[in-house]
Structure 1
Amino acid sequence: MLQGINPLLTGELLMHLDEMGHSDAVIIVDAHFPASRLAERLITLPGTTSPDVLAAVCSVLPLDDTPAVDLMTSADGDVLDVQKELMSAAGVTEDGVRFVDRFDFYDDAEDAYVIIRTGETRKYGCVIVRKGLVGHTSA
């Protein structure tokens, strides 16, 4: 166990997040998402929620911008509670979100560096974030 690391961040997940390059995508999806079919690299975290996993990922991964977060557009176009929780977990407002059609979201998932399937059972509990640049300090 590592000190200061969210316990949802398994060794395997941390390895994948570390290996990602700038603009590589990590997709956190709900239990309904066809992750096994689409993922090249799949991490399964049953019993978790998408917002909790996103908050854990964001604790170690700097987010890219323009936009920082992609959410799947709900069937009626409303912003759902789970999506509001995802925005909060990522530290963005609705202005920092791009809403993506379901099938475009699936296409994006095929190109993701890693997909994390949660135990989230609420519909549209899926999010795409891209790795930004890790800050550095000069010596």
Structure 2
Amino acid sequence: MLIGISPYIGPELLEALDRMGHGDEIVIVDAFYPGDTRSSRCIRADGIKVEDLLDGIFRLMNPDDYVKDPVVMMQPSEGDSADPAVEQSFQAVLDKYWPATPKIQKIERQAFYDRATRAYAVVVSGSIVKYGCIIIRKGVLPH
């Protein structure tokens, strides 16, 4: 165990976060997301909730403050709905570490999938909540 690193951040995820450059994106998804199909770098975090992964990640890296949407979630499909508590819990973790970051934006489902496919890595969590996926764009070190 390393001091200051969340026990939810395994070695494979820690390496990915370290290797990412500014502007690279990491996607944290629910347990149902087709991570192996949609990513060449799929990291498993079975049994770990997205909020716990976010808490560990935001301790180690900041979102990009040079773009208007450094953190995005999938917008519910037409006629569908998402539990607002999911977004609120993600926003609370973001605000805990990086309160100056713009609020989480929502993007259309296919746009989310397209953006996720281009991401540096996809982390498949153990969460089973609907619309519980999030993309984070890595920033440069804060001043």
Which sections of structure 1, spanning at least 5 residues, go unmatched?
Answer: none
Q: 1:112 to 1:57 in 2, by over 3 A?
A: same
Stretches (4+) displaced over 6 A: none
CA shift at 1:129, angstroms? Answer: 0.5
Whether the 8 Å contact between 2:39 and 2:121 is mirrored in structure 1 is yes
Q: 1:94 to 1:131 in 2, by over 3 A?
A: closer
TM-score, scaled to structure 1: 0.89
Q: 1:3 to 1:94 in 2, by over 3 A?
A: closer
From 74, 77, 100, give the equivalent of 2:76: 74
Q: 1:77 to 1:93 in 2, by over 3 A?
A: farther
Q: Secondary structure at the match of 1:59?
A: helix
Q: 1:116 to 1:93 in 2, by over 3 A?
A: same
Q: In structure 2, what is the equivalent of residue 111 of structure 1?
A: 118
CA shift at 1:26, angstroms? Answer: 0.4
Deviations 1:86-130 (A, max 9, x none): 111122599522211111111011100011000100101100001
TM-score, scaled to structure 2: 0.87
Farther off after superposition, 57-66 or 112-121: 57-66
Aligned length: 136
Q: 1:22 to 1:50 in 2, by over 3 A?
A: same
Which sections of structure 2, spanning at least 5 residues, go unmatched?
Answer: none
Q: Note the aligned Cα RMSD (angstroms).
A: 2.0
In the aligned structure 2, how far is the partner of 1:22 from the partner of 1:94? 15
In the aligned structure 2, how far is the partner of 1:35 from the partner of 1:113? 12
Are positions 1:44 and 2:48 aligned together?
Answer: no
Identity %: 35
CA shift at 1:21, angstroms? Answer: 0.7
Are positions 1:25 and 2:29 aligned together?
Answer: no
